[in-house]
Each structure stands twice: as C-alpha cells, then as structure tokens.
C-alpha cells in the first residue's frame, strides 16, 4: 500500500463567472521515502493539489471531491480535529514564500516550538531546546542566538531553512514542498536542494515537490507528474520522462529549457515556445485540454478527451498520438 493515494481529485471553486475547475480528476500515489515532483506552468493546479491534500482549501467557495488516502485513511472523511492532528505532525508543508508564511512578530524559536508543544506536548524549555537542535540540523549557524531572532533579521535562505525546520520538527512521514526555491538566488537554491536531499535520507520522509523548474526536478525527484489545465497529462520516472517525453506539452516544456552553449548557434539555439494560451478553467473542455496549443492536434483531439494510457512500462500519457513502446516494431 502506498503512503499517499490520491484518486480522482476534483477541487472546484464557485465564482460569479462560473465554476473554476482548478483540479479536475487527478490521480497519483506516493510511496514511503519517495520523492515525487508535480510540474507544470503557473495556474495548472499544482499548488491547489497540495493544499487539497492537507484540506487547506476554504469551503466555500472551494469544494474538494474524490479520495485522498494517507496510510489507508481517507483524509476527506476525517473531522477538523483529526485533520489538525495530522497537519504538521504526520504531513508537513513548506510554503512557497517564507517571509509571508512566517509570523513577523514571533521569534523563530517560538514558531518552531509551537508545532512541538501542540503535537508532542513538550514544555516551553524542551521546545526551545528542540528548536535549537532543528536549526542545527538545517545548517543555520549560531542556532542558540537565532532562536531568539525574528524572521526579518534572517536572510531569504535562512528563512527557507527555518521553514524546513518547522516542517521537519515532528518527524513527518510526508513533506509537501511548494516551490521551495522560488525567489532564492541559484547558489542558495543549490544549498536548499542539497539540504532537502540530505534530510530526506536522515528522517526517511517522502516528499511531494511542487515546482515549475525542471532543473530542480532533475536534481531531486525520482518520479514526475506533469499537469496542464487542472489535469494530469503525463507521469513517468525522471529518466524516461526527460529522455523520451510522450505528451506534446511535456515535449514543449523540455524544449523551452535553456541549454548551455545554445546562444552560440544563432537562430538554431533559440528557445522553443508553446504558442497560445492556457484555456479557461471555467469552461468545460470536452476534448484534450492541450488541443488549442498542440502542434499535432486533429479533430479527434478537439472532440474526445484522451485517456491516460501506459505508453511504456511505468510511463503514462494522455495523448491519442503518443506512440506506445514496441508499436513501431509491431
């Protein structure tokens, strides 16, 4: 049994203009100790998926349907009290922007200790000692001084390390990292990614990594889920997905990545682009969600939504024209 199983997840929002289908029938699983990346451009439903897992979507206007099973328990059927016991304890989240996620009027030590006192019943002094230990674990120098400082006194990289310390304080089984390296310079990004890989091996937590940065995915993930317009369009292990992407959208994403030395080849070195715009999620899409931007589109694509099919062992894609492994030889 997988640690996390998401089945036919639908997260919709009622708006004055209609129903926004932010996540529309997404299914995936995460095994214990595994790192799974969810990728796609802004607005594809990555962050809404992660917030839905922790039931952090306000209802109304939001509405979550489907099944989210964590260690066999359906989180959508738990009471609010039971969910509070799971959040920060068994499932933790590193939010996208640490400066807005950390409380500016509370010290770093108190914010780490709050989770420990709530879930593990530690005293104030025990919680502070554990906070020092966590800051040491995430590589912050002079941790005894830092626990008494406020978020504005720390650099961006240090604030992100504090967020990781808070998330790992109770030794969760699942860590959700929503764009953990956004707004950090490349050297700090590398340090944070290395830290996450190191801590994963130390504490044994599974990681769901939400990102649009394919370079980050190649660095830390084992399996990748590609989302577009609220739906899953492809899923595979990192190597097969980068080496042989099956869906035209994934091919477009990889083609738009800058490559070393590309500027030396004139027009041949220009980045590829995906033409057109993402379709409105407030209108029901009958065919393929990518049909309006796909270079391979046909009338079939516009009329019939392709099912997710296995195109190679462990490699699924939702495309009528993605070639199955062995089909050419056959």
Query: Cα-flanking dihedrals φ and ψ of residue 288, to 5°?
Result: -70, 135
Beta strand pairing call for 35-39 and 206-211: parallel
pTM recorded for the entire structure: 0.88
Q: How far apart are CA 295 and CA 319, in angstroms?
A: 12
Mean pLDDT of 137-154: 89
Angle of the 124-137 helix axis to the 108-120 helix axis, nearest 10 = 120
End-to-end CA distance of the chain: 35
* Distances 322 to 13, 314, 316 between C-alpha atoms, Å: 32, 15, 10
- Could you tell me the pLDDT band of residue 52, with boundaries at 50, 70 and 90? very high
Q: Is the pLDDT of residue 328 over 60?
A: no
Percent of the chain at pLDDT above 70?
Answer: 93
Residue 325 reports pLDDT greater than 70: no
Q: Does residue 326 have a pLDDT over 70?
A: no
CB 178 within 8 A of CB 50: yes
Residue 21: per-residue pLDDT:
92
From 239, 203, 179, 221, select the one nearest 35 (Cα to Cα). 221
Give the ranges where 227-283 is alpha helix by DSSP (H).
Answer: 238-243, 248-255
Token duo for residue 57: 């979507």
Mean pLDDT of 233-249: 93
Is there a contact between 73 and 2 (Cβ–Cβ < 8 Å)?
Answer: no
Taking residues 159-165, report their average pLDDT.
Answer: 86
Res 106 pLDDT > 70? yes
Lowest mean pLDDT among 10-19, 46-55, 69-78, 262-271: 262-271
CA 190 to chain centre: 18
| pLDDT at res. 330 | 41
- Over residues 229-239, the mean pLDDT reads 94
Q: Is beta strand 223-228 parallel, antiparallel or unpaired with respect to 35-39?
A: parallel
pLDDT of residue 247 exceeding 50, the answer is yes
Picking from 182-191, 277-286, 299-308, which range would have the lowest pLDDT averaged per residue? 182-191
For residue 136, pLDDT over 80 is answered with yes
At 148 the pLDDT is 92
Task: Convert the pLDDT of each residue in 198-229 to its tens digit.
Answer: 777 777 889 999 988 888 888 889 999 999 99
Bridge-partner residues for 18, per DSSP?
Answer: 15
d(CA 192, CA 214): 16
Pairing of strands 206-211, 18-30: unpaired
pLDDT value at position 300? 92
Residue 266 has pLDDT above 60, yes or no: no
Per-residue pLDDT band for 94 (boundaries 50, 70, 90) equals: confident
For the segment 138-150, the average pLDDT, to the nearest whole number, is 89
Res 269: pLDDT: 59
| Enclosing H/E stretch for 137 | helix 124-137
Q: Which residues contact 244 (CB under 8 A, 6 or more apart)?
A: 312, 315
Q: Is the pLDDT score of 263 beyond 80?
A: no
Question: pLDDT band at 53, cuts 50/70/90?
Answer: very high
**Is the pLDDT at 144 greater than 80, yes or no?**
yes
Residue 329 confidence (pLDDT): 42
Tokens of 128: 């502070």
71 HSE (CA, 13 A, CB side): 7
Q: Which residue has the higher pLDDT, 149 or 330?
A: 149
What pLDDT shows up at residue 18?
A: 86
Residue 124 pLDDT > 50: yes
Mean pLDDT value of segment 8-14: 94
Position 102 scores a pLDDT of 87
CA 90, 56, 103 angle in degrees (round to 5)? 85
């Amino acid at each position: 049994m997988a640690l996390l199983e998401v089945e036919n997840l639908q997260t919709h929002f009622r708006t004055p203009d209609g129903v926004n289908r932010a996540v529309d029938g997404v299914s995936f699983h995460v095994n214990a100790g595994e790192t799974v990346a969810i990728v796609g451009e802004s607005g594809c439903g990555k962050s809404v998926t992660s917030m839905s897992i922790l039931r952090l979507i306000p209802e109304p206007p939001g509405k979550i349907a489907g099944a989210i099973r964590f260690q066999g328990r359906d989180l959508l059927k738990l009471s609010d009290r039971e969910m509070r016991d799971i959040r920060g304890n068994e499932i933790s989240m590193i939010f996208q922007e640490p400066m807005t996620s950390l409380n500016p009027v509370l010290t770093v030590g108190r914010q780490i200790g709050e989770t420990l006192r709530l879930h593990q019943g530690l005293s104030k002094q025990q919680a502070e000692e554990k906070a020092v230990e966590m800051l040491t674990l995430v590589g912050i120098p002079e941790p005894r001084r830092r626990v008494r400082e406020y978020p504005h006194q720390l650099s961006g990289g240090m604030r992100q390390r504090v967020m990781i310390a808070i998330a790992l304080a109770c030794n969760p089984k699942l860590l959700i990292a929503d764009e953990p390296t956004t707004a950090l310079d490349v050297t700090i990004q590398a340090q944070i990614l290395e830290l996450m890989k190191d801590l994963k091996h130390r504490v044994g937590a599974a990681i769901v990594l939400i990102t649009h940065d394919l370079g980050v995915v190649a660095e830390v993930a084992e399996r990748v889920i590609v989302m577009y317009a609220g739906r899953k369009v492809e899923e595979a292990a990192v190597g097969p997905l980068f080496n042989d992407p099956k869906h035209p959208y994934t091919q477009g994403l990889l083609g738009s990545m800058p490559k070393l030395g590309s500027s030396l080849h004139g027009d041949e070195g220009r980045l590829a682009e995906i033409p057109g715009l993402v379709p409105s999620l407030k209108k029901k899409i009958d065919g393929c969600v990518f049909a309006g931007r796909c270079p391979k589109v046909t009338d079939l694509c516009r009329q019939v939504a392709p099912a997710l099919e296995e195109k190679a062992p462990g490699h699924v894609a939702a495309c009528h024209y993605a070639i199955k492994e062995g089909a050419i030889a056959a």
